[in-house]
């Protein structure tokens, strides 16, 4: 029996009112009103944008793995519906960006890179290309579609190609910190390459890595990870996931900022101790991706090499490194 029945009733009533108030607050803050939902739907130009043939839940690519062990999609031709994805991302009005470095004689690759990007890279989307070079006067003028633009940024020359390749992380970090509010996604690409097929919204994700065309069929023990524990890019025996290429990676600007900052500071700390990882920033990138796990993995369709025969699982080559004479174009051998 309650000692003070009147007080008990008051307390119960008060508790009920507080609970009601909390529930009301939760609903108004977390549930979208009917009006809000109608507004969102009105952004659909037409429901036709989202129509496509019935997706199969029982048939798909069976010759390749399309999901990583941490459940990130691995993107291959035949695993996605391009027009559906474009419609989804068009509704979000995304702003794309890309970086490419052309230092010294590598400016000779810019024309093909930029012209083929116009034909295949995020066609129909707003794209801002950032070209980093020590020879701004050699950047070709390429006709770009409306909504697409190019900015040239000056970077110093170097007499070591390793330095040029690795310092990209530093300039990428500075750029993304400046442009965090301006663009949604970014890809950082090697210039000695050409686009041959669609590279579009299917590739978007928080942190995106590309399987290296030279090692994706190999046993992990053969990956050219940095194997010396004195480097901050070290990956020990039995460790690692896949081997990713340094020639293409991306994601949201926030994720790429974290990646570039980490790879840059690890590369610089190694350099102070006179250590250079086996494949410069590619080694640091592999270490970063092993620890942080990409949320999307792109198949080697997204960075093939012209000198390689196409394997049967490669149904399309979207982007590929041209065959080059290293001795003729690099500042050192």
Among 192, 202, 241, 255, binds ligand UD2 (CB under 6 A): 192
Which residues are tagged catalytic?
A: 282
Q: Among 34-42, 67-75, 102-110, 171-179, which window interacts with ligand UD2 (CB under 6 A)?
A: 102-110
Minimal distance, residue 109 CB to ligand UD2, in Å: 7
For residue 253, what are the contacts with CB-CB under 8 A and spacing of at least 6? 97, 176, 179, 180, 183, 184, 185, 186
Q: Map residues 237-266 to x or -, x wherever contact with ligand UD2 holds by CB under 6 A.
A: --------xxx-------------------
Alpha carbon distance 217, 130 (integer Å): 33
Among 86, 89, 97, 106, binds ligand UD2 (CB under 6 A): 106
Minimal distance, residue 164 CB to ligand UD2, in Å: 4
Q: Which of 191, 79, 92 is nearest to 133 (CA)?
A: 191
Among residues 2 and 333, whose Cβ is nearest to ligand UD2? 333
Among 282, 288, 297, 314, binds ligand UD2 (CB under 6 A): 282
**In the numeric block, which tokens belong to residue 315?**
């149904």
Among 102, 117, 169, 209, binds ligand UD2 (CB under 6 A): 102
Among 191, 204, 263, 314, binds ligand UD2 (CB under 6 A): 191
Among residues 167 and 296, whose Cβ is nearest to ligand UD2? 167
Minimal distance, residue 59 CB to ligand UD2, in Å: 33
**In the numeric block, which tokens belong to residue 35?**
């009006």
**In the numeric block, which tokens belong to residue 329?**
């174009």
50 neighbors 87 (Cβ within 8 angstroms)? yes
Alpha carbon distance 326, 333 (integer Å): 7
Alpha carbon distance 220, 286 (integer Å): 12
Q: Does 231 bind ligand UD2 (CB under 6 A)?
A: no
Q: How many CB atoms lie within 10 A of CB 122?
A: 23
Q: Does 150 bind ligand UD2 (CB under 6 A)?
A: no
Q: Does 280 bind ligand UD2 (CB under 6 A)?
A: yes
**In the numeric block, which tokens belong to residue 173?**
């970090």
Minimal distance, residue 84 CB to ligand UD2, in Å: 30
Among residues 40 and 218, whose Cβ is nearest to ligand UD2? 218
Q: What angle, 0 to 180 degrees and rounded to 10, lies between the N-to-C axes of helices 253-272 and 161-179? A: 140
For tokens 């000198």, the residue is 307
Among residues 138 and 184, whose Cβ is nearest to ligand UD2? 138
90 neighbors 169 (Cβ within 8 angstroms)? no
Q: How many residues bind ligand UD2 (CB under 6 A)?
A: 22
Q: Map residues 288-327 to x or -, x wherever contact with ligand UD2 holds by CB under 6 A.
A: ---------------x-----------------x------
Q: Among 98-106, 196-204, 263-271, 287-295, which window interacts with ligand UD2 (CB under 6 A)?
A: 98-106
Angle at 193 between CA 144 and CA 256, to 5 degrees: 80
Alpha carbon distance 125, 82 (integer Å): 13
**In the numeric block, which tokens belong to residue 100?**
């490419």
Q: How many CB atoms lie within 10 A of CB 305?
A: 17
Minimal distance, residue 291 CB to ligand UD2, in Å: 18
- Using the 8-state DSSP alphabet, how is residue 331 labeled? S
| CA-derived radius of gyration, the chain | 25
Minimal distance, residue 85 CB to ligand UD2, in Å: 25
Q: Which residues bind ligand UD2 (CB under 6 A)?
A: 101-104, 106, 161, 164-165, 190-192, 245-247, 279-282, 303, 321, 330-331
């Amino acid at each position: 029996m309650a000692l003070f029945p009147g007080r008990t009733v008051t307390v119960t009533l008060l508790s009920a009112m507080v609970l009601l108030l909390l529930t009301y607050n939760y609903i108004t803050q977390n549930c979208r009103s009917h009006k809000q939902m109608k507004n969102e739907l009105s952004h659909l130009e037409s429901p036709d944008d989202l129509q496509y043939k019935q997706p199969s839940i029982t048939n798909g690519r069976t010759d390749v793995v399309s999901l990583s062990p941490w459940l990130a999609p691995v993107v291959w031709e035949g695993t996605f519906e391009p027009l559906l994805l474009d419609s989804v991302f068009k509704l979000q009005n995304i702003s794309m960006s890309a970086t490419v470095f052309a230092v010294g004689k590598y400016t000779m690759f810019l024309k093909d890179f930029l012209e083929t990007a116009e034909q295949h890279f995020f066609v129909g989307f707003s794209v801002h290309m950032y070209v980093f070079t020590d020879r701004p006067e050699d950047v070709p003028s390429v006709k770009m579609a409306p909504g697409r633009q190019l900015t040239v940024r000056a970077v110093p020359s170097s007499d070591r190609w390793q330095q040029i390749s690795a310092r990209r992380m530093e300039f990428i970090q500075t750029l993304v910190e400046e442009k965090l509010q301006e663009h949604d996604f970014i890809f950082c690409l090697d210039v000695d390459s050409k686009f041959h097929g669609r590279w579009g919204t299917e590739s978007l994700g928080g942190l995106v890595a590309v399987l290296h065309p030279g090692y994706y069929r190999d046993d992990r023990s053969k990956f050219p990870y940095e194997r010396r524990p004195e480097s901050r890019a070290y990956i020990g025996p039995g460790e690692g996931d896949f081997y990713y290429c340094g020639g293409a990676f991306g994601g949201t600007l926030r994720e790429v900022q974290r990646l570039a900052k980490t790879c840059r500071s690890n590369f610089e700390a190694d350099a102070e101790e006179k250590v250079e990882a086996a494949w410069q920033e590619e080694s640091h990138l592999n270490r970063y991706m092993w620890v942080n796990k990409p949320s999307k993995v792109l198949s080697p369709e997204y960075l093939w090499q012209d000198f390689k025969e196409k394997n049967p699982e490669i149904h399309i080559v979207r982007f590929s490194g041209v065959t080059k004479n290293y001795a003729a174009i690099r500042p050192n051998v």
